[in-house]
Amino acid sequence: MKVLVINTGSSSIKYQLFTMPAGDVLCTGLIERIGEKAGVLTHKIYPCSNKEVKHIEEKAVRNHSVGMERIAALLIDAKFGVLASANEVELVGHRVVHGGETFSSTTEITKRVKDKIKELSPLAPLHNPANLIGIEVAEQIFTKAKQVAVFDTAFHQSIPEEAYRYAIPSKFYTENGVRVYGFHGTSHRYITKRAASLVNKPLDKVNLITIHLGNGASMAAIKNGKSIDTTLGLTPLPGLVMGTRSGDIDPGVIFYLNEALGYELNDIKNILNKESGLKGLANDNDMRGVTERAAKGDKEAQLALAVYTYRIKKYIGAYLAAIEAPLDALIFTAGVGENSAIIRAKSVAGLAHLGIDLDIELNKVRGGERKISTKNSAIDIWVIPTNEELEIARQVYELKSITRYVS
């Protein structure tokens, strides 16, 4: 069965085509800068397991409909295609960032589901509208396929009430749904399954702290294979320091910026989401650049790394307490987590007394799957590459009885 996985951003479309249940990748691709003067499409096919063929197009892509049409054309292209017809795609899995409390599992997309995704857009204004565009365009292109949504928030629906409720008047939860939802759930779910296998524990018995570090970042406390807490909340803004997002901040800072310094709310929203984090501290949201500058003695970059990793370390301690059971492993994943030895080292420095002891030599790795703790470490430390697209494909394929949302 051919399963196409689509991740639509505000100006991009990322896609992978799988053969299921084997999970073999037939092709991958990314369209960037949709709606700009100079778009870029990168399309890779895998005619055999150890080889890829890359095709790059640099030209304007007017909108998402044009982009999706180009993807469909490439899938059946005589030179770069892997299908005889777009009708070979039987399932299309869509990453949707925010599912609120409505969606706790993989769900077939209906009009009511689309309406609910739109209704939840204020909670993820940079993501849900783009996800919805991807769904609607895919429905027009892949007319024979079932369209299925996999929600970033679904994995965290197991978080207990004492962890997901905010200490504000209850009406904001009961009437408006203001609570912790969490994100990157597909990544945390994939890592949890893989880690359970690596530490040789049943999924329903494994206890983990998973650390997803990319331009966006989050951590999750996993107890008996389920998420019991996570750093992101109502929105993808709180928690860890990120590329351009502040992470945790005293809410009073917002009042001060508004009342004392005269910033409007939209300006403050932009500052906290797009001008803060690494960018705010070091004027650069690319971890590679910040790390290089820090190694050369740049004080701003060194402070940014210190703040970034201190926040991770604080949450490690908090989640060790929250899990209330021996931890099987601490996992680093995603772009920064998989590739930055210095970030991993700084994040666990000084934690040997808690049973977390990093092996400096084993930690010298970029990408790949590797245990990086010492033999004496009571808690395993692992680098595990995430694969959200494969996890989406698996969830879509494994959906035996398609769940429909009923209002």
Q: Which residues are catalytic?
A: 152
Burial class (CB in 10 A: 0-12, 13-18, 19+), 62: exposed
Q: Which residues contact 92 (CB under 8 A, 6 or more apart)?
A: 3, 4, 5, 6, 138, 142, 145, 146, 147, 148
Task: Report d(CA 334, CA 384) in Å as an integer.
Answer: 8
Task: Report d(CA 390, CA 392) in Å as an integer.
Answer: 5
Please count the helices (runs of H) and the strands (runs of E) in the chain: 14, 14
- State which H helix or E strand residue 107 sits in: strand 107-108
Task: Report d(CA 397, CA 146) in Å as an integer.
Answer: 11
Contact by Cβ (8 Å): 27, 16: yes
- State which H helix or E strand residue 226 sits in: strand 226-230
